[in-house]
Structure formats: structure tokens, C-alpha cells
Structure 1
Amino acid sequence: MITLLGGIALLIIGYFTYGKFIEKNFSIDPSRKTPAEVLKDGYDFVPMSKGKNAIIELLNIAGTGPIFGPIMGALYGPVAYIWIIVGCIFAGAVHDYMLGMISLRNNGAHLPELASKYLGKPVKHVVNIFTMLLLMLVGTVFVTSPANLINSITPNWLGLGAIVVLIFVYYIISTILPIDKALGKVYPWFGAILIISTIAIGISLLFSGSPIPNLTIHTIQNFHPGGLAIFPALFFTISCGALSGFHATQAPMVSRTSTNEKEGRFTFYGMMIAEGVIAMIWAAASMSLFDGQTLSQMIDAGTASLVVNEVSIMLLGNVFGTIAIIGVIVLPISSGLSAFRSLRTILADYLNIKQDTIKRILMVTIPLYLISFILTNMDFNILWRYFNWANQVTAVISLLVSTRYLYLKGKNYLVTLLPGAFMLYAVVVYILSEPIGLRMGLTTMTFAAAAVLSIGILWVFWTSGKKQKEQVDPDGELLNDQLPIGTFSAENA
């Protein structure tokens, strides 16, 4: 219990201390006009309130990640707490804040355009592929996982296939609506359900009498029943609750609706901290109510959705437990919708297809949903592995973009370079060792090869940055740069 409460306290303290430092390092300008004001179009660029932007950001980034990930991460024991707390404060929240604010400074540009500007135009194509792959996997995962949860609380006659189709129909309808209608009207209600259900699970756990594991000298070890090594697996299992590249695809959506830069710390950094709190509660509940072997069997039998059902009913009873399950369901549905919405705009930008009519919107949207529907027939656990790797590769790219931005501006760039370098090494080790990669196993050769490759990538990144530094003006702005979307006035360039 002490570790759970202390960890949540550290997350909140991190928001008011390190979050404030990151904001100061970025150097916000509250008087600067935002894309929502300059490029207002009534569809994607729409001024919205701080509260709505924050709840949209939370629901966009959350999905089942901060719940399913920590549930599976709980198999490693209390050591999972460390990654959630440290990762969230020093990596994930920084990642989300920087991408959101850099996008806001660049007319709400998505990650591929930002990578093109700060890492070089050839990188744009690679980032586009990874980003679209990630969003397709995210959208599919966030159709499959809520469908399983809905199927567990609905009559058998409805069927899993019918639920999947209904979710896709909802996504299609919401995709063609303006953001303030599709998200602004519905998400506050979704957010209320999520917050209330999460608090209920947390309070019930504290008073349930179940022993909540603490992080001690005796428990800071790997308890995974399958014997999986903590590094790098834990850092891919728990992603959305600590560091997630998917968030970099969602932050630009909210940067297009924000009306003041001073809202950024609450909207981007703060909502990641909130996600960390959710992750702590579900990791603690999973470790408290089940032993590792039982938890592993439940995950294998029905994905982490089975654990969600059991935890909710055990702690809250049938009625309130079902309400809590509904609270979990709204997460992936909202994130899945946001993933497909982002995927549509990124693909349309890449192919230069204007999204100014419903016909053109559906021309891009329908094929994406058809591909995703086919992918829903894949084994969920296999889909999750590919999603996790693509997710953290995207996080590395996002942190390198942020590092380059800070470097060009003459700011402290170590705040993004250090977590970026760490995750880069983890990504390389993962792809060299895992079955989805080169299957080299976790050997000395693997770790050494990963170190060499990571250093090589960082060296190329550093040398290209020094050359780019020669092409900036005294304010750190790139000379002869064309902003990727729209045009700011000279005073905002």
C-alpha cells in the first residue's frame, strides 16, 4: 500500500516540479496566437476550452494501454512500479509535452512533418510508414479489446463479430464529424465515467483487505512466471502508462484546438501523469488479487480483458463492477477513434488528398477500416507485440525530434536526449532478440551489437544536427523554412 500511495504522490509532485522545469525550458509565450485561432476551419482547427482539450488528450492517449499494459506488467512484480513512476515523469510526460508544444509552434503539424523539418526530408517517409503502421495497429487493438469487454457483459446472441462491426460504424460516423462535435460533446461524459470508475477501483482496493505488494529489497526482482527478462520486455509491455509513441500521433490533434501555450503543461504533461496514476492502480490491483501464475493463465485465456472483468467484479460487485468495466471500455473506443482520425489526416497529407468534402474523407477512411477489420482476425497477443515495438520506435523518433528542436533553440536538450537514447537501445535490443525480429536471444553479443548500432544512430543524429545548427537564425528558427500546414503571420513565424 505504501508503494502505491507513495508512487501516486511522486507522480503528482513530478507534475508540479519537473513539469514546471520542462515548461520553463521550452519557454512558452502566452501571447502567441495558436493554430486554432490562425487556421480555424470549423473541422480540425477549432478553438476549445482548456478542460475539454485536457479530457480529449487523456482519452486520446489512454486506450487500454494504461490498463492492459500494467496488468501484463504486473507479471514482473513490484519492479513494474519503478518504470511507471520514473518513465512517466522523466520520459512519457516530457515526450507528450514536447510533441504537443512543438506541433503547436508548427501550425498543428503531425509527427511526419515535424520529423521532416527537424531530422531531414528523407526521414519523413520512414516516419510516415512507422506512424501509419502504428496507428493502424492501435486502431485495430482498440477495436478488439473493447469488443472483448463488451462481449463479456452483453447477451450471447449479440456475438463478438456484431460488436466489432458496431464499433467500426461508430468510428466511421465520428470520423466525418468536426472535432468539436465528434469529441468535444461526447468525451467529457466518457471522461467522467473513466475518472469515477478509476477512483472507485483504487479506493475499493485500499479497503479490500488484499495485501498490496510494496517495492522492497526482497521484491525488487523479476517474478514473471514465464521467466521473461525485465529488460527490454517490461519497457514494451508497459508503454502507455510510462512512455508511448502513440501519444505523439495524438498531441497534434489537441494542438490544433488549444488557445494558449500556458495550457500545455496541464493538457500534455498533466494528462500523462493522470495516465500514470491509472497505470499504478491497475498494476497494484492485478498484483494484489492474483498470484503470477493465475494472472498469466487469465491473460493467456482471454487477454487482459478477462483480468479487468475479474478485478472490477471482485472489488465493486456485479452492478458497480459492470459500470467500472464500462469505464474501461470508453478508453479504447475513444483512443481507437482518435487513432483512425489521425491516420486519415496523416495519410491524406502524405498523398495530398484534401479533406474538404465527405466524399474525399470517406475515400481515405473506408479502405483503412477494411484493412483494420481484416487485422481483427489476428491473435490479439501477437498484434500487441507488433504494436508495442512500433509504438516505442515512434517514441524514439518523437524524442529525437524534440531533442533537435531544443538543440536548435539553445535549450537544455538532455531532458529528451537521455530518455530517447535509453529507449533507442531498448528498441534495438528488442528487435535483435525477439521472435518478431532477428531471434538472437538476450546474449552478450545481442547487447553489444545493440550498443554499437545505437551509438552509430546517435552519432549520425548528432553530426546532422551540427550541420542543421548552421542554418538557423539567432532565435533558433530554420532559415527558408516552410511551415508544413497553413501560414502564420510574420509575428508568429
Structure 2
Amino acid sequence: MITFLSAIAALILGYFVYGKFIEKFFGADNSIKTPAIRLEDGVDFIPMPRWKMFTIQFLNIAGLGPIFGAILGAMYGPVAYIWIVVGCIFMGAVHDYFSGMLSIRNDGASLPEIVGKYLGMVSKVILAMITFALLIMVGVAFVTGPAGLLKDLTGGGLHYWLYGIFAYYLIATLLPINKIIGKIYPLFGAALLIMAFSIAGVMIYNGFNGSFHLNELSVDQLKNMHINPTQNILYPMMFIVISCGAISGFHSTQSPMMARCMRKESYGRPVFFGAMIAEGIVAIIWATAAMNYFGTASDLNATIASGHNPAWVVNEICNSWLGQVGAIFAIVGVIACPITTGDTAFRSARLMIADFFKLEQKSLKSRLIVSVPLFVLGFILSQLSFGTIWKFLGLFNQLLSMVMLWTAAMYLAEKKKNHFIMSLPATFMTAVCATFIMVAPNTNGGLEMDTTIGYTIGILIACLVFTWFLIAAQRRNKKQTIFKFSKI
């Protein structure tokens, strides 16, 4: 109980202390007119209330990520607590805040446009390809999963559910953001939070009355407790598996959506930083529930190894602890939440393509021209197996977070601020991604090298990228100085 409550307390404290510091460090200024005010178009640039943006942002970045990822991460044992708490406060929340605020400062620009401005055209093109691939994979992954579950529940054909979900995606992507997303998503976001807090309440209540004992984090448990440790290496694989609860590049593709709806820059901390902290809390709750419902992390491993998946775990825990109400929340969580994440992924893809090719999106015709090819491609990819799509999703996700961190670091270097707040996390995520490629099993998209060699190469690549960053930042500042003097 101490570990669980301490982790949640640390995340809340992180929002009020470190979040406030980051807001002041960035220089949020309400006197600056935001894109929502200056560029309002009735489609994507529409001012919204702060509470509504928080719930939409939370649902967009969360979905099933902090639930399924936390359950799979809990298989590594209580060491997952450390990554979720430290990663969420000092990496994920800051990553989300900067991706949103830099979008606000650049007319609501999508991620590739921001990266291109601070890291150059080559980085912009490469990042655009990675982002597009990630968004399509998220959209496809979050249509095939719910479609399969709906088929099992109703006995209907899989293709009919795929057609139905894709039709909804197209409508939600084309309509102004305040028509469906602005009206329905806050309800789903609230449902996701209520489900998590209800699970937390059951654990706390039963823990204090002595009928339920939560395992505590101790020195002897700071190890890999996965049932198959040789194929699921603690570092770096846990840092890829637990992404949404700690740091996730996908979030940087969603932040510009709310950046186009923000009335004041001061809303950035509750909407961007705050939504990520809320997601970290949800991840802690589900990691704790998964580790303790079956007994221990080892018992969770045995359950998953017996053929059950995270969706079954969610359904089992909700039904057992919350009864019929829990069953409803489980359905919302396992079916509705991934669908809502999938459609915002496609919407973000539309905005990204429009920004990249400078295509106006106020008219329905223009939105159709961009959207229809996206959904045709998405439907073709939906014919692939869920496992094939999911295998590369985690790596692409964290590669994207790495690039966003380096972009924010370059912005700080350009402003002559302490870039280490972002460049050190960026270096760490570079090491994680490079090491994953080297040592992860072939089935997960890695090269399956010897860990000693793989770790060495991963660290070396991270050091080289950090060195490149320092040189590039210095050159960039020199060019800016020369440009300023030439204007004088």
C-alpha cells in the first residue's frame, strides 16, 4: 500500500511542483494571442474550455495505452513503478507540454513542421515518414482490435464491423472538432478516469481493512520478474512496453490538435502536462491491480502465459471488483476508448499531411481529398494481423518521442536556456531505442545481438547523437548571431 500511494502522491506532487517550474521555465504568456483566437476557422481552430480540452487530450493520448501497457509492464515486476513515476514526471509530461506549447508558438503546426524548424529539413522529412507510419498503425491497430471484440460479442462478421468503424472514423475526421470529439470524448475520458479511480478505491479500501495485501517495492524486487526474461529484457524492452504511462511519442502528434483550441497559454500546464500526469496515475493503478489481483507479478505472468491477454485481465478485474457497473466500464475501456484514439490518429494524420503540403482544410472538399486516401490505405493495412502491426508500434512510438525531445532541446538551446532539461532525457531515449534495435528478439523487430555488444552500441550511438546536438546547437546560435548583426 505504501508503494502504491507513494507513487500516486509523487505524480501529483510532480504536477504542482515540476509542472509549475516547467511552465515558468518555458515562459507561458497569456498576453500572446493563441492560434485558436488568431486563426479561428470553425473546423480545427476552435476555442474550447480548459476542462473540455483536458478530457479530450487525456482520452486522445490514453485510450488503452496506460491500461494494456501497464499490465504488460507489470509482468516485469514492481520495478515498473520507478519507470512510470520518474518517466512520467521528468520525461513524458515535459515532452507533452513542449510539443503542445511549441505548436501554439508556431500557429498550431503539426509535429513535422515543428521538427523541421528546429532540426532542419532532413529531420522534417524523416520525422514525417515516421509520424505518418505511426499514426496509420495506431489507427489500424485500434480498429482491428475493437472490431474483433465486437464480432465475438455479437456474432457478426468482422468485415461489417471494420466497415462500420472506418465509416465512423471518416465522419469524425471530416467534421469540425467541436461536433463529435468536443461533445462525446469528454464523456469517454471521464469514464476512463472513473474506471481507474474505482479500481484504486477498491484496492485502498480492502487494503486498509486488511482483506487485501498489496506487494511493496523492495530492493530484492528490483529485478526482471518476467516469465521469459531472455526474450523480454528489462532494459530496454520494459521502457518500450510501458510508453503511454511514462513517455510516448504518439502524444506529440495529438498535442497540436488541442493547441489549435487553446484560448490562453496558461492552459498548457493542466491540458498537456496535467493530462500526462493523469495518464501516469492510471498506469500506476492498473500496474498495481494487475500485479496484485492474481497474487504477485509471477502469478500475473502465469496468467498471461496460460493464454489470457490484457483485455481479459481488464474484464476480469472490473467484473470481480466492480460488478455489473465494472462490466460496462470494461466494455467502454476495451472497445470505445481504442476507437476514439484511432479516429484522432487519423485526424492528426490529415492535419499533418495538410500542413506538410500546405493544403487548406476549411472546405469539406479539401478535407476529403486528404482523408479518403488515408482510409483506403488504413483499410488495406487492417487486413494484416494485429500482432504484425503491434510489433513495430512500440519502437516507432519511442523513436518519435526521442525526436520530439531533441526538438525541444534545440528550441531551448536557441533561446539560450538550460537545454539539459530536455537533452538528457533525449539522450536516454536515444539509448533506449538504439539498444532495443540491437538486442530485442527478431520477433519484436530487433537484431537479437549479444546484450554486451548491443548495450555498448546503444550507449555509443546515444553519446554520438548528444555530441551532434551540442555541435549543431552551437552552429545554429552562431548563424543567428551573424544574421542579427547583418540586419543591423
**Count of aligned residue pairs for this structure pair:** 477
In the superposition, the TM-score normalised over structure 2's length comes to 0.92
Measure, in 2, the Cα distance between the counterparts of 1:343 and 1:188: 21
**Alignment partner, residue 484 of structure 1:** none
Measure, in 1, the Cα distance between the counterparts of 2:320 and 2:450: 38
Measure, in 2, the Cα distance between the counterparts of 1:306 and 1:25: 43
**Alignment partner, residue 165 of structure 1:** 163
1:11-26 aligned within 5 A: 11-26=11-26
**Alignment partner, residue 44 of structure 1:** 44
Measure, in 1, the Cα distance between the counterparts of 2:12 and 2:157: 42
CA contact (8 A) 1:295 1:307 kept: no
Note if 1:288 corresponds to 2:288: no
CA 1:479 to 1:231, structure 2 compared with 1: closer, same or farther past 3 Å?
Answer: farther
**Alignment partner, residue 27 of structure 1:** 27
Bigger shift: residues 157-166 or 73-82: 157-166
The one-letter code matched in structure 2 to 1:444 is T
**Alignment partner, residue 317 of structure 1:** 323
CA 1:201 to 1:412, structure 2 compared with 1: closer, same or farther past 3 Å?
Answer: same
**Alignment partner, residue 214 of structure 1:** 216
**Alignment partner, residue 266 of structure 2:** 262
Measure, in 1, the Cα distance between the counterparts of 2:301 and 2:160: 29
**Alignment partner, residue 444 of structure 1:** 452
Measure, in 2, the Cα distance between the counterparts of 1:198 and 1:324: 10
**Alignment partner, residue 240 of structure 2:** 236
Note if 1:175 corresponds to 2:177: no
**Alignment partner, residue 201 of structure 1:** 199
CA 1:299 to 1:111, structure 2 compared with 1: closer, same or farther past 3 Å?
Answer: farther
CA contact (8 A) 1:151 1:160 kept: yes
CA 1:400 to 1:443, structure 2 compared with 1: closer, same or farther past 3 Å?
Answer: same
Q: What is the root-mean-square deviation in Å for CA atoms of aligned residues?
A: 2.3
Q: CA deviation at 1:296?
A: 5.5
**Alignment partner, residue 488 of structure 1:** none
The one-letter code matched in structure 1 to 2:457 is A
Q: CA deviation at 1:362?
A: 2.2
CA 1:409 to 1:339, structure 2 compared with 1: closer, same or farther past 3 Å?
Answer: same
**Alignment partner, residue 463 of structure 1:** 471
CA 1:394 to 1:343, structure 2 compared with 1: closer, same or farther past 3 Å?
Answer: same
CA 1:332 to 1:437, structure 2 compared with 1: closer, same or farther past 3 Å?
Answer: closer
Measure, in 2, the Cα distance between the counterparts of 1:301 and 1:478: 67
Q: CA deviation at 1:301?
A: 3.6
Q: CA deviation at 1:386?
A: 0.5
**Alignment partner, residue 53 of structure 2:** 53
CA contact (8 A) 1:59 1:331 kept: yes
Measure, in 2, the Cα distance between the counterparts of 1:23 and 1:271: 14
CA 1:160 to 1:47, structure 2 compared with 1: closer, same or farther past 3 Å?
Answer: same
The one-letter code matched in structure 2 to 1:263 is Y
Q: Secondary structure at the match of 2:414?
A: helix
The one-letter code matched in structure 2 to 1:464 is A
CA contact (8 A) 2:290 2:300 kept: no
CA 1:421 to 1:477, structure 2 compared with 1: closer, same or farther past 3 Å?
Answer: farther
**Alignment partner, residue 64 of structure 2:** 64
The one-letter code matched in structure 1 to 2:195 is S
- Summarize deviations over 1:213-265 as a string: whole Å, max 9, x none: 21112222211001122100000000001000000101111111001011111
Measure, in 1, the Cα distance between the counterparts of 2:344 and 2:21: 29
Measure, in 2, the Cα distance between the counterparts of 1:118 and 1:5: 40
Measure, in 1, the Cα distance between the counterparts of 2:485 and 2:307: 53
Bigger shift: residues 432-441 or 27-36: 432-441
Measure, in 1, the Cα distance between the counterparts of 2:436 and 2:122: 25
**Alignment partner, residue 472 of structure 1:** 480
CA contact (8 A) 1:135 1:340 kept: yes
The one-letter code matched in structure 1 to 2:394 is N
The one-letter code matched in structure 2 to 1:304 is P
**Alignment partner, residue 412 of structure 1:** 418
Note if 1:433 corresponds to 2:435: no
Measure, in 2, the Cα distance between the counterparts of 1:297 and 1:177: 43
Q: CA deviation at 1:366?
A: 2.3
1:298-447 aligned within 5 A: 298=304, 301=307, 303-434=309-440, 435=442, 436-437=444-445, 439-447=447-455
Q: CA deviation at 1:412?
A: 1.9
Bigger shift: residues 450-459 or 223-232: 450-459
The one-letter code matched in structure 2 to 1:380 is F
CA 1:122 to 1:81, structure 2 compared with 1: closer, same or farther past 3 Å?
Answer: same
CA 1:72 to 1:239, structure 2 compared with 1: closer, same or farther past 3 Å?
Answer: same
CA 1:215 to 1:133, structure 2 compared with 1: closer, same or farther past 3 Å?
Answer: same
Q: CA deviation at 1:45?
A: 0.7
CA contact (8 A) 2:63 2:333 kept: no
Identity %: 42
Measure, in 1, the Cα distance between the counterparts of 2:384 and 2:212: 36
Measure, in 1, the Cα distance between the counterparts of 2:385 and 2:315: 20
Measure, in 1, the Cα distance between the counterparts of 2:204 and 2:171: 41
Note if 1:112 corresponds to 2:118: no
Q: CA deviation at 1:328?
A: 4.6
Bigger shift: residues 183-192 or 347-356: 347-356
**Alignment partner, residue 133 of structure 2:** 133
Q: CA deviation at 1:472?
A: 3.3
Q: Secondary structure at the match of 2:32?
A: coil
Bigger shift: residues 193-202 or 9-18: 193-202
Measure, in 2, the Cα distance between the counterparts of 1:401 and 1:408: 11
The one-letter code matched in structure 1 to 2:220 is H
- Summarize deviations over 1:342-365 as a string: whole Å, max 9, x none: 001112333444333323322322
Bigger shift: residues 102-111 or 363-372: 363-372
Measure, in 2, the Cα distance between the counterparts of 1:246 and 1:359: 28
Measure, in 2, the Cα distance between the counterparts of 1:75 and 1:108: 39
Give 5+ residue unaligned stretches, structure 1.
Answer: 481-493
CA contact (8 A) 1:205 1:315 kept: no
Q: CA deviation at 1:465?
A: 1.3
Q: Secondary structure at the match of 2:289?
A: helix
Measure, in 1, the Cα distance between the counterparts of 2:463 and 2:486: 29
Measure, in 1, the Cα distance between the counterparts of 2:345 and 2:214: 34
Question: Which of 182, 188, 191 in structure 2 is aligned with 1:190?
Answer: 188
